[in-house]
Structure 1
Amino acid sequence: MSGVISKAIHILDLLVPQGSEKEMSVTEISRELGMPVQSAHRILGSLSRHGFVSQDAKSKKYKLGLSVMKYGFLMWDSLMLRSVARPFMEELSRKTKETIYLATRENAEGVYIDCIDSPHILKISEPIGLRLPLFIGASNRVILAYLPRKSREALLKDVDWTAVPSLKPMTRAYIDQELDLIRQQRYAITSGEATSGTTGIGAPIFSYDNTVIGSLNCAGPSMRFTEQNIEKYSRYTMKYADMISKELGFRDQFRRQI
């Protein structure tokens, strides 16, 4: 299997445009890579079914497909998000003195992709790369709240609510109510769901194409998240999340209320 994957990667590398769009026949690909024509044809068929290459109906030549572009844009968005968000994370950290996380979505999970630790000795410190279902934790739930309705439904319809990895019991009705509230107030707040004794405030980040791309999260020990601090921190978190969105090219402010 690893040999087939390696050959597929070599084919994709060969089709990478060099200044202009590149198209090659099965025979040309086979000759260039020293690969049997039948093997090249079989691998190209698999790549074509998944959208990684496409074949011209007339010339029968192959070029890179839209799936390559899709994954490239996802990677670019992730890199851009971290780069753009970092100075705003630093400013939010100075304002709150709490741990600041940057999260993004990967399929049905939210993932921490950057972090600035609190200067306090007592602080929350979760690892970058931590994954949890999108309905657990403020940083994840605020992303879920702003996904299209069909996407939310697809992610929630088959959840076994008796086996979710949360410290607090959850139900579909509770999550639906939470998502409605998040869209009304424009931020999420959770306590003790992923880690005992901690509170998090998350605000959505939107990309240039008006879709939710991630979230900014302020988190720390619940004892420091008093009513007054929650009001202040949520205001700061929304402010800097909005500034990140603006830097990423987001303009449609009304889209968030849909």
Structure 2
Amino acid sequence: MSEELEGKHGVQSLEVGMAILRAMAAGKRSMMLKDIAIAASMPPSKAHRYLVSLIRSGLVEQDRLTSRYDLGPFALNLGLVALDRIDRIRLGLAAITDLRDVTNETTSLAVWSDDGPVVVRWERPRRPITVNVVTGTSLSLLSSAAGRVFAAWLPERQTEALLLKEIEAGKAPGVASLAQARAVLAEVREQGAAILSRGYFARGVEAAAAPVFNFKNEITMSIALVGVEGSMDLTPGSPTLDELRRATHELSLRLGASADTA
């Protein structure tokens, strides 16, 4: 069978294994082999062969005392990860919409990718002159507010290579070394937000961003306010910044972050 044909037909053994997992998930409790076989519409002997492999992978586990099967630790981990990813985006979209309505400023939501921060959604305010943020835009770690937020709260081992690349390319005015970048990011952590009224990667634009934390108290998203330079009040304690911090704090709490982290 050619690779092209295999690609179209998929992997049958994987599909059979998934049928067993779906049957177990639908059962909502640990199950005996015969019950799994009936639910998955296959002979018990066939179901048992697949269950052996699923146990080895961590997707299924068996109670030695009762011989009943249940979803394993890896399956539970996949569920938690999927829940975190789905819920955080949905809640994040609602948060930036509400923040847009309160501030009447452009709002955006960014997440971390292998290539750094990326914009996943933005909301336009009701005013004649606005700043458009393109969905899918990759953001600089040093010359964007959302990028500085991720760089400030992510472990440096995840950001150091990108930081050095931007420093060498001269993308961040006034930041010529990793030591200077660390000082900038330390100030961001101290303020609890990144504020860029000058030196933004897009000319004539200013922005402020704050972190959103998950149930592990790790940064999972960033919310930003973006406007025409000089149009927003970004002074410490301004209503605009207060609303940004309120939005990210409330969203962090909803995602399970502890109150002192959020």
TM-score, structure 2 as length reference: 0.69
> Do structure 1's residue 153 and structure 2's residue 147 form an aligned pair?
no
Equivalent in the alignment of 1:239: 246
Q: C-alpha offsets along residues 84-136 of structure 1, whole Å, 9 cap, x if unaligned?
A: 34554334223332111122334553233332112233322223333446556
Where structure 2 has 5 or more consecutive residues not aligned to the other structure, the ranges are 1-5
CA contact (8 A) 1:202 1:215 kept: yes
Equivalent in the alignment of 1:210: 217
2:187 to 175, 181, 189: 181
Equivalent in the alignment of 2:81: 74
User: CA 1:77–1:91 in 2, change beyond 3 Å: closer, same or farther?
Assistant: same
> Do structure 1's residue 19 and structure 2's residue 28 form an aligned pair?
yes
CA distance in structure 2 between the partners assigned to 1:95 and 1:107 by the alignment:
32
User: CA 1:176–1:33 in 2, change beyond 3 Å: closer, same or farther?
Assistant: farther
Aligned residue pair count: 243
Measured after TM superposition, the shift of residue 11 of structure 1 is: 1.8
Aligned 1:27-46 pairs, distance under 5 A: 44=53
User: CA 1:160–1:13 in 2, change beyond 3 Å: closer, same or farther?
Assistant: farther
Where structure 1 has 5 or more consecutive residues not aligned to the other structure, the ranges are none
CA distance in structure 2 between the partners assigned to 1:182 and 1:13 by the alignment:
49
CA contact (8 A) 1:206 1:245 kept: yes
Equivalent in the alignment of 2:230: 223
Which one-letter code corresponds to 2:205 in the other structure?
T
Taking only aligned residues, the RMSD between alpha carbons, in angstroms, comes to 4.2
CA contact (8 A) 1:112 1:130 kept: yes
2:204 to 160, 178, 197: 197
> Do structure 1's residue 113 and structure 2's residue 116 form an aligned pair?
no
Measured after TM superposition, the shift of residue 238 of structure 1 is: 0.7
CA distance in structure 2 between the partners assigned to 1:236 and 1:155 by the alignment:
29
Bigger-Rg structure (1/2): 2
Q: C-alpha offsets along residues 29-82 of structure 1, whole Å, 9 cap, x if unaligned?
A: xx9679xx8xx87xx48x956x5x356597999865544433432332233234
Name which of structure 1's ranges 212-221 and 2-11 shifts more when overlaid on structure 2: 2-11
CA distance in structure 1 between the partners assigned to 2:78 and 2:136 by the alignment:
19
CA contact (8 A) 1:103 1:216 kept: yes
TM-score, structure 1 as length reference: 0.69
Name which of structure 1's ranges 208-217 and 167-176 shifts more when overlaid on structure 2: 167-176
Which one-letter code corresponds to 2:255 in the other structure?
L
